[in-house]
Structure 1
Amino acid sequence: MDAYTGYEFYEDNTTDNGYYYYNIYNNITECSSSYLPGSNIFLPLLYCIIFITGFVGNLFVISVTGINGSRGGRLVDTFVVNLALADLIFVLSLPLWAISALQNGNWNFGPAGDLLCKLSSYIIAVNRFSNIFFLTCMSVDRYLAVVKLMDSRYLRSTRCIRATCGAVWLISLVLGIPSLVYRRVEEIEDGLSVCVEDNNSSFFLGLSLTMVLLTFIFPLLIIVLCYGTIIIHLNKHCVVAGNPRTEARRRHSLKMVLSIIVVFVMSWLPFNIFKFIIIVSKISYVELSCNVAFWVREGLRMSCTLAFLNSCVNPGIYFFLDNHFRRRAVLLFKTCTGKSKLLHSHNSSASFTNAGTSESIGTTVRTQI
């Protein structure tokens, strides 16, 4: 029971570090703890769909972009592979949340329940952080490729990009630690166990608010700045002195990355808005009415599902918007079907084509798009 407001907070499931829902009870009238009708049916169904499509789709992306190692690939593919890997690991945790949602939030996994609660929440947190950081890196990479091409030889080298990906993973793994520390299974009533966070700590609430700013708002500002500068640059330099085919491929790659970012923002923005409202209301001890509390809680549940959908959308974006990805998908198909002669022919043509997809720096240095 909150000593300042007389409100009692209970938490529910389907959360990353901060994915908490609560019912509010004041000291006079008990608020309804009901859920949206049918949520215990359509939420598990959605989780299963996300799991299947996300697992198959991201595994497909990793397989396609990994053909022949770095041969015929682009520097941006390094970020694409790491992004797909983060989503692939994340979707493996969804069956747990689907089972929990099917039981109206009951986290009933026996002796391993607490460990699974902490581990799955940690995976979701790491996925959330790594996604936004990789997308930010992709935006900076596009900025360097379009605006600062002549000055970005080192920053856009294979070694530097791999080191950047390693740093992103390390930072994301560290930032996800609060999910291991503050997440646990609690028994609420009548044997009902839920995977919740300890939100009574002012330090944790402040940390959660800081995470929203540093892992969503700040990276989003960088992304907007990069693309705003790119658009201004392209408008000023409609006629490029270089290879027109290279410029067309650069613009196409730009469109693909921008589409991924737009989808990510649309997926995660509602969640971050609801999360921000809840954190601020708890920190400032603002009393929420029963009706407002219900819609904030349910809004967070639905926006959580929307955020999860992001992990199975990216493979579709690559396939429909990236001609280079589709060509490599055909190459994978030929490899799997054993069409070695066609494969050799395709590799020969791809080697010729790839020379046109590289961005020339002077006459001796080439950096792949």
Structure 2
Amino acid sequence: MEHDQLVTESLKSENWSEGFESFITDENGSDFMNDDVCFPEDLPFAYIFIPTLYFMIFLIGFFGNFFVILLMVRKQGNKRLVDTFVLNLAVADLIFVSTLPFWALSEALGYWYFGEGLCKFSSFAIFVNRCSSILFLTGMSVERFLVVTKHWESRTIGTKKNISISSGCIWMASLLFGIPSLIFRKLISVENKVFCIDDQTSTTFNLVMFIVTFLLPLTVILFCYGSIFIKLQGHISLGKRRNNALKIIFAIIGAFICSWLPFNILKVFYIFTIARDISLSCQALKALRWGFTISACLAFTNSCANPIIYLFMDQQFQQQIRNNFPALCSMKATTQSSALTLSSTESSLLFASRKKLTPATSIQVGGTKRKKEGLEVSSCIAKPGPQLFKGSNFKMLL
């Protein structure tokens, strides 16, 4: 997978070879080996913690993204362009997390068990997910930017033609960037153990991937949501609606940056050392290896965080839950409705279309019916997360 690729590349650098032996340059610039061979060292108990974390990401990500897809497919009425992005993003994350059990078992065993075919496919799936996820997030940012700041209508942007073109271009670009994984991923044998590694170490390719899959999308996202922030700041009358909208903005940006920034910082550093032909000490290489392992795990959690952000913070998704799964709404109907219920203008300011919304009416909790925006729905709290995923530790993902 992605961190395995860079870790194994470091093993093949001048400091660590595939046989885990090479010359290391000491502080005085002299070369030494034999007694001072620099052996790669994994994190303590990594064979336990990493597989456990991968399985947690798999379970939460699989059911979370599957639930998002189910809601989007069953959604009635006209679909917005942002809905299509959410659906495609969930599909990409679902494909990715489906490969995690293979990598979890591989981490537990200490070698690759599933043959070259799955080695290539699972690596291909990771690259495609990485590209498509970030590009769809960027597309959502641009769409919200046009709707909120330029006053474009969502139904005007989200025509079938625009949806097909935008989604098709993103998937084609993602598949294109994933092709090198199919070509260069292979199995190697080291000390009677088989490993799934990437056999190309092109710094140019890695630099292009960094720019396309992180730096450029991050710039676009920050610009779009920065503009939205300024726009909302200029509307003092929004009050609580503005605050809720800003919370969604910070959640989107925060999850993206917190998940991917540490990994990409290490990646830039690694590319720089390769390009400059810089020799690292044994301790530095060990720290880099550990850093890639931890930061990659953190990046993978983004596939679990996305359903939380785009499902549980969007009033329209919550409305779909109430309409499609009314039984879930009666689990805990004794909660204070005024504290947990958001009006459509408050929670969907960034995700809903720019149609005029009516204020939310008062709600009586306790299994009764309520009227809201001309629709009669079952009483339900606005945040169904704890009921749908009871016992899951979401705090580690946000």
Q: TM-score per shorter chain, which class?
A: 0.7 to 0.9
Matched, 1:51 2:58: yes
Displaced runs of 4 or more, over 6 A: none
- Specify the SS of the correspondent of 1:32: coil
Residue identity matched to 1:100: S
| Aligned counterpart, 2:106 | 100
| Aligned counterpart, 2:69 | 62
- Specify the SS of the correspondent of 1:307: helix
Cα distance, 1:254 vs structure 2: 6.8
- Specify the SS of the correspondent of 1:266: helix
Cα distance, 1:14 vs structure 2: 5.8
Q: CA separation in 2, counterparts of 1:292 and 1:228? A: 37
| Aligned counterpart, 2:265 | 273
Q: CA separation in 2, counterparts of 1:162 and 1:67? A: 19
- Specify the SS of the correspondent of 1:327: helix
Cα distance, 1:259 vs structure 2: 1.8
Residue identity matched to 2:113: N
Q: 1:359 aligns with which of 354, 358, 367?
A: 354
Q: Which moved more, 1:74-83 or 1:48-57?
A: 74-83
Q: CA separation in 2, counterparts of 1:33 and 1:360? A: 58
Written as runs of structure 1 = structure 2, the 5 A alignment for 1:289-328 is 289-328=281-320
Q: 1:198 to 1:313 in 2, by over 3 A?
A: same
TM-score normalized by structure 2? 0.73
Q: CA separation in 1, counterparts of 2:212 and 2:120? A: 23
Q: Which moved more, 1:230-239 or 1:252-261?
A: 252-261
8 A contact 1:87–1:127 mirrored in 2: yes
Corresponding pairs, count: 317
Cα distance, 1:253 vs structure 2: 6.3
**1:210-236 Cα distance to aligned partner (Å, 9 max, x none):** 110122101111111111111222222
| Aligned counterpart, 1:178 | 180
Q: CA separation in 2, counterparts of 1:161 and 1:360? A: 20
8 A contact 2:116–2:186 mirrored in 1: yes
Residue identity matched to 1:195: C
- Specify the SS of the correspondent of 2:262: helix
Q: CA separation in 2, counterparts of 1:50 and 1:166? A: 27
Q: CA separation in 2, counterparts of 1:154 and 1:292? A: 53
| Aligned counterpart, 1:284 | 276
Q: 1:219 aligns with which of 212, 217, 220?
A: 217
8 A contact 2:5–2:197 mirrored in 1: no
**1:163-204 Cα distance to aligned partner (Å, 9 max, x none):** 211211111011111111121111112x1111111245xxx2
- Specify the SS of the correspondent of 2:157: coil
Residue identity matched to 1:129: C
Q: CA separation in 2, counterparts of 1:304 and 1:264? A: 13
Written as runs of structure 1 = structure 2, the 5 A alignment for 1:11-22 is 15=3, 18=6, 20=8, 22=10
Q: CA separation in 2, counterparts of 1:308 and 1:282? A: 25
Q: CA separation in 1, counterparts of 2:136 and 2:145? A: 14
**Runs (5+) with no aligned partner, structure 2:** 17-21, 24-30, 330-343, 357-398
Share of identical aligned residues, percent?
A: 41
| Aligned counterpart, 1:167 | 169
| Aligned counterpart, 1:77 | 83
Residue identity matched to 1:215: T
| Aligned counterpart, 1:41 | 48
Cα distance, 1:324 vs structure 2: 1.7
Q: CA separation in 1, counterparts of 2:132 and 2:273? A: 27
Q: 1:270 to 1:20 in 2, by over 3 A?
A: farther
8 A contact 1:117–1:183 mirrored in 2: yes
Matched, 1:140 2:142: yes
8 A contact 2:222–2:253 mirrored in 1: no
Cα distance, 1:257 vs structure 2: 5.6
Q: 1:141 to 1:150 in 2, by over 3 A?
A: closer
Q: 1:358 to 1:22 in 2, by over 3 A?
A: closer
Q: CA separation in 2, counterparts of 1:67 and 1:17? A: 39
Cα distance, 1:303 vs structure 2: 0.7
8 A contact 1:19–1:275 mirrored in 2: no
- Specify the SS of the correspondent of 1:313: helix
Residue identity matched to 1:171: A
| Aligned counterpart, 2:380 | none
Q: CA separation in 1, counterparts of 2:68 and 2:215? A: 28
Q: CA separation in 1, counterparts of 2:123 and 2:279? A: 28
Q: CA separation in 2, counterparts of 1:231 and 1:130? A: 26
Residue identity matched to 1:60: F
Written as runs of structure 1 = structure 2, the 5 A alignment for 1:186-225 is 186-189=188-191, 191-200=192-201, 204-225=202-223
Q: RCO greater where, 1 or 2, for CA within 8 Å and sep 6 or more? A: 1
**Runs (5+) with no aligned partner, structure 1:** 1-12, 338-349, 362-369
8 A contact 1:319–1:326 mirrored in 2: yes
Q: CA separation in 2, counterparts of 1:63 and 1:251? A: 30
8 A contact 2:84–2:163 mirrored in 1: yes
Q: CA separation in 2, counterparts of 1:274 and 1:311? A: 20
Q: CA separation in 2, counterparts of 1:330 and 1:322? A: 13
Q: 1:252 to 1:66 in 2, by over 3 A?
A: farther
